[in-house]
Amino acid sequence: MKQHWQETLKQLLLGDNSYCHLATPISEQQSIAAYIKANQGTLMTEWIAREQDGNTTYWYILYYCRFHWICSISQLNPQRPVISDLSSFFPVANRLQRAIYDLTKIATQRSQDERPWLSHGHHKTGILNPHTASNRHASSHYHFHKVSGDGVHEVPVGPVHAGVIEPGHFRFSAVGERVLKLEERLGYTHKGIHQLLIGKTIPEASRLLARVSGDTTVAYSLAFALACEKQLGIHIDNNTAMLRTVLLERERLINHIGDIGAIINDTGFASLCSQFLILKETLVRENEMLIGHRYMMDSIIPTQSIDAWSESVVHKLLAQLGNTQSELTTLQIICARHYGLQDRLRTTGIVSQETALSLGLLGVAAKASGVSIDARVAEPYYDSSQNKFTPINTTAGDVAARVHVRFQEALQSIEIIKHLLTTQPKAALQPQAQAGPAPLTFSLSCVEGWRGPICVAVKLTPQQRIAWCHFHDPSWQNWLAIEYAVIDNIIADFPLINKSFNLSYSGQDC
């Protein structure tokens, strides 16, 4: 059996398909994880899905390896469903597996960490498992790992924070101001979206997906739309595919500009921050003119076309992009030459390339540490815009590097949008080829959001309703990085380091 999956996996990696499915027994899942790790792959997400008969349950693990998305699938024993511990290969699996247990009461064999992750004692363990009669709740007391020694003290921060911010708890162990260890506790914003999706129509589900993490609404909507269209056999017209890409790159541009300003604000340079806020505000007002919503919510619906923009609208967009590009380039020079600012950013919150690879970081956090993982390379969802696409990469791994990646990606997004709006023909809408969903199949799509890859897996019923849907935010992986980035920094630099990642609480806890 082992030789069988190895040969199958080798053939999958050598093939042309971006997405590969591999059915395997649970006993081989750890060996597959070790093989993926040895081949410089990373675990993207894992989840449990129950079929409509209510008795058949599958464990899905999605990997990214050599520009392929590989989904390894195992059927669980109905009498004693358990999964294998993959956290020794991929650290994010620890939190994913703990979340799975909190919701389904499906345990992880030989797990070294049995603390709850999503559950804070407000609902029974295994609340989504119809076969469990247990009313046991997780303890409201959470055991943080202690650091002992002379002068070591703990500093709790959160879960309630100043200002408008989602809840998260951070437990620092420090000597004086120097941080020895940070441990996070999240899961305060769990909304049960995965369960809410079951039975919804595609348009209803699309509205829910668009609200998983409001600052990433386009990426979630696009990933869900692509997954649904794959399963339905629908090929969307070229104009819609192009405009979807434009919206996605605008979302990236807007968030990067806003983040750079927020990072600079945390260094105390409020006047410089205001220049970025003006740029961002101009762009979001333009969104409202284009879409009717400042953050482009519900702008992408599965199977629905987007009307072509008029030449006057395109001309106005290009003019505004030119202004944004010029101002952003000037601001980048100002930031690079401001020694006081660079003194705060450089060597602060370092995540080494070795750590980034070990943790399986994604998106901006990975690229700033010399790890280039970008879904736009693995699966260009609009080919003409990605023919010459090269991910941004730098190696310092500090706050300054994460700012640099944001600057470069923002400028890159402007070039992609300009290219799309000026070179693509205004072709008539192409007819959509449609076929019904195949039974017992599901589809996957991964889209490079501004934080990193957004992954969506969906299975539809014959009536085109949601049988189940799983989605994953890169914040799951990247929250781990902050625990390493703050080591040997001072507590006062935590807000700056945290903002340089700007991760989603809601996306990690949906």
Residue numbers of the domain that contains 11: 2-109
State whether 159 and 208 are in the same domain: no
Phi/psi-derived region of residue 71, left when phi > 0, alpha when psi is between -120 and 50, beta in every other case = beta
pLDDT at 119 over 90: no
pLDDT of residue 3: 55
pLDDT at 433 over 50: no
Q: Name, in order, each residue with C-beta under 8 angstroms of 263's C-beta and a sequence gap of 6 or more.
A: 345, 399, 402, 403, 496, 499, 500
| Domain end call among 137, 164, 185 | 185
In a domain, 143, yes or no: no
Q: Is 176 left (phi over 0), alpha (psi -120 to 50) or beta?
A: left
pLDDT in tens, 48-93: 998 877 678 999 999 999 888 999 999 999 889 999 999 999 999 9
Q: Are residues 211 and 326 in the same domain?
A: yes
In which element (H, E) is residue 368 found? none
SS3 133: coil
Reported as a single tens digit per residue, the pLDDT across 333-379 is 999 999 999 999 999 999 999 999 999 999 999 999 999 889 988 77
Say which CATH number the domain at 360 has. 1.10.645.10
Q: How far is 220 from 222, CA to CA, in rounded Å?
A: 5
Q: Are residues 76 and 157 in the same domain?
A: no
Let me know whether 91 and 200 are in one domain. no
Number of domains in the chain: 3
In a domain, 138, yes or no: no
Range 86-101 average pLDDT? 96
Q: Does residue 136 belong to any structural domain of this protein? A: no
How many other C-beta atoms can be found within 10 angstroms of the C-beta atom of residue 235?
14
Average pLDDT, the chain: 90
Its pTM stands at 0.95
Contact 405, 355 (CB under 8 A): no
Looking at the structure, tell me whether residues 385 and 456 fall in a common domain.
yes
Q: Is residue 160 part of a domain?
A: yes
d(CA 5, CA 14): 14
Same domain, 447 and 474: yes
When pLDDT is averaged across residues 156-161 and rounded to a whole number, the result is: 90
Residue 189 near residue 166, CB atoms below 8 Å = yes
Same domain, 31 and 166: no
The closest alpha carbon to 410, from 270, 289, 309, 276, belongs to 276
The DSSP secondary-structure symbol of 285 reads H
How far, in Å, CA of 378 to CA of 14, rounded?
Answer: 14
* 220 contacts: CB under 8 Å, gap ≥ 6: 209, 210, 212, 213, 449, 454, 456, 471
pLDDT above 70: percentage of residues in the chain: 94
Look up residue 94 and give its two tokens.
């620890």
